[in-house]
C-alpha cells in the first residue's frame, strides 16, 4: 500500500567514531533531578518520586545547529542535561538490569519557554507549550557505552558566550540512571531509540538572539548551539 502523504523523516543522531546513525523513537525528560535546581525553582529537593514529560523526536537539533528564538515567549531558558540513549526497551525493568538497556550517552539542552511553563504550572495545565516546541531538544552526538562505559561522575556545565552559567556534577542526580530507567519503565513501555534527558543542574537562565550555548559533560561530550 502506498502512503497518502509523504511519511515523516526518521529523526536521528550521529554516533561518535562511526558513520552510523542512532534512530530516535521517543524523548522523555526528567523534571527537578538536581537538588540545587529544585531549590532555585522554588521546590523542596526532598526525594519525591521522579516525574516526567516528553518532547517530540522532530524537535531535535544536532550539534552545531541553530536554535531560532521561538514565538510567543520572552523568557527562553537553557537547561544542560546528560542524555541517555536506549538500545533496548521493556516494561518494569529492574534497576539491576537497567544499564543493559543503554546504548550510549550524549549532552542535550532542554530548551524551555519558562514564561509559558510558569503559566501552565500555575493553572495546573500540561507543559507541552513550555517544553515541546520546535527545536526545543538540541542533542549532541551519541557516545556508545560499549566504548566509553557508563558515566556516573563528571562535571556538567553550560557556557553562554564563553561565560559559565550552569555548573554541577552528574553524581548529584537525585534519581540516578538505573533508578530513572526502572521507574520510567513502570509508566511507559520503553523502546530502542528512546532518549531520556535526565534533568539539569542549577543556574538555568535566559538567552537572547546571537548567544552561543556550549554544554559539556565531562567524559561524555559537548554540544554547541547558536541562538538565531
Ligand atoms: Mn530539564
Q: What is the DSSP string of 108-139?
A: EE--EEHHHHHHHHHHT--SHHHHSSTT-EEE
Taking the centre of ligand 1 as the mean of its atom positions, its distance from the CA of residue 182, in whole angstroms, is: 19
Tell how far the Cα of 199 is from the centroid of ligand 1, in angstroms: 5
pLDDT of residue 211: 98
Provide the pLDDT for residue 102: 98
Give residue 17 CA to ligand 1 midpoint distance, Å.
27
Measured in angstroms, how far is the CA atom of residue 80 from the centroid of ligand 1?
7
Ligand 1 centroid – CA 173 distance (Å): 12
Q: Give the three-class secondary structure for 171.
A: helix
Helix, strand, coil abundance in the chain, percent, nearest 5: 20, 35, 45
Residue with cell 527545536: 135
Q: Which residues of the chain have pLDDT under 50?
A: none
Q: What is the pLDDT of residue 48?
A: 85
Q: What is each CA distance from 154 to 33, 144, 169, in whole angstroms?
A: 16, 17, 5
The set of cell numbers assigned to 33 is: 533531578
Q: Which residues contact 178 (CB under 8 A, 6 or more apart)?
A: 95, 96, 98, 99
Ligand 1 centre to CA of 223 (Å) is 16
How far is the centre of ligand 1, averaged over its atoms, from the C-alpha of 2 (Å)? 39
Q: How far is the CA of 82 from the centre of ligand 1 (A)?
A: 10
**How many CA atoms within 13 Å lie on the side-chain side of 203?**
17
Nearest residue to 141 (alpha-carbon basis) of 66, 86, 212, 221? 221
Ligand 1 centre distance from Cα of residue 8 (Å): 26
Can you say how many angstroms the Cα of residue 159 is from the centroid of all Cα atoms in its chain? 17
pTM of this structure: 0.97
Interval between CA 131 and ligand 1 midpoint (Å): 9
Task: Give me the count of residues in the chain.
Answer: 228
Instruction: Give pLDDT, residue 43.
Output: 87
Task: Note the pLDDT of residue 46.
Answer: 75
pLDDT of residue 129: 97
C-alpha of residue 112 to centroid of ligand 1, in Å? 8
Provide the pLDDT for residue 45.
75
| pLDDT per position as a tens digit, 23-69 | 999 999 999 999 988 899 888 877 789 999 999 999 999 999 999 99
Residue 213 is predicted with a pLDDT of 98
Centre of ligand 1 from the C-alpha of residue 108, in Å: 9
Q: Which three cell numbers stand for residue 137?
A: 531538544
DSSP category for residue 6: P
Å from CA of 145 to ligand 1 middle: 23
Look at residue 186 and give its three-state secondary structure: helix
HEC string for 10-67: CCEEEECCCCCEEECCCEEEECCCEHHHHHHCCCCCCCCCCCEEEECHHHEEECCCEE
- Look up residue 45 and give its three cell numbers: 529537593
Amino acid at each position: 500500500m502506498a502512503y497518502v502523504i509523504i511519511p515523516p523523516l526518521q529523526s536521528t543522531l550521529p554516533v561518535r567514531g562511526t558513520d552510523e546513525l542512532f534512530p530516535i523513537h521517543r524523548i522523555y525528560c526528567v523534571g527537578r533531578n538536581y537538588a540545587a535546581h529544585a531549590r532555585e525553582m522554588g521546590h523542596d529537593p526532598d526525594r519525591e518520586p521522579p516525574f516526567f514529560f516528553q518532547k517530540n523526536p522532530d524537535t531535535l537539533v544536532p550539534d552545531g545547529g541553530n536554535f531560532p528564538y521561538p514565538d510567543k515567549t520572552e523568557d527562553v531558558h537553557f537547561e544542560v542535561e546528560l542524555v541517555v540513549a536506549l538500545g533496548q526497551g521493556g516494561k518494569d525493568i529492574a534497576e539491576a538490569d537497567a544499564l543493559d538497556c543503554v546504548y550510549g550517552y550524549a549532552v542535550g539542552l532542554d530548551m524551555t519557554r519558562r514564561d509559558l511553563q510558569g503559566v501552565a504550572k500555575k493553572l495546573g495545565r500540561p507543559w507541552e507549550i513550555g517544553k515541546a516546541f520546535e527545536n526545543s531538544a538540541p542533542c549532541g552526538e551519541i557516545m556508545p557505552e560499549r566504548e566509553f562505559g557508563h558515566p556516573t561522575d563528571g562535571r556538567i556545565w553550560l557556557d553562554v558566550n564563553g561565560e559559565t552559567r550552569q555548573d554541577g556534577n552528574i553524581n548529584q542526580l537525585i534519581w540516578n540512571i538505573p533508578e530513572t530507567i526502572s521507574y520510567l519503565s513502570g509508566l511507559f513501555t520503553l523502546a530502542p531509540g528512546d532518549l531520556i534527558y535526565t534533568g539539569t543542574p542549577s543556574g538555568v537562565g535566559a538567552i537572547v538572539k546571537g548567544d552561543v550555548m556550549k554544554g559539556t559533560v565531562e567524559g561524555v561530550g559537548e554540544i554547541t548551539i547558536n541562538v538565531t
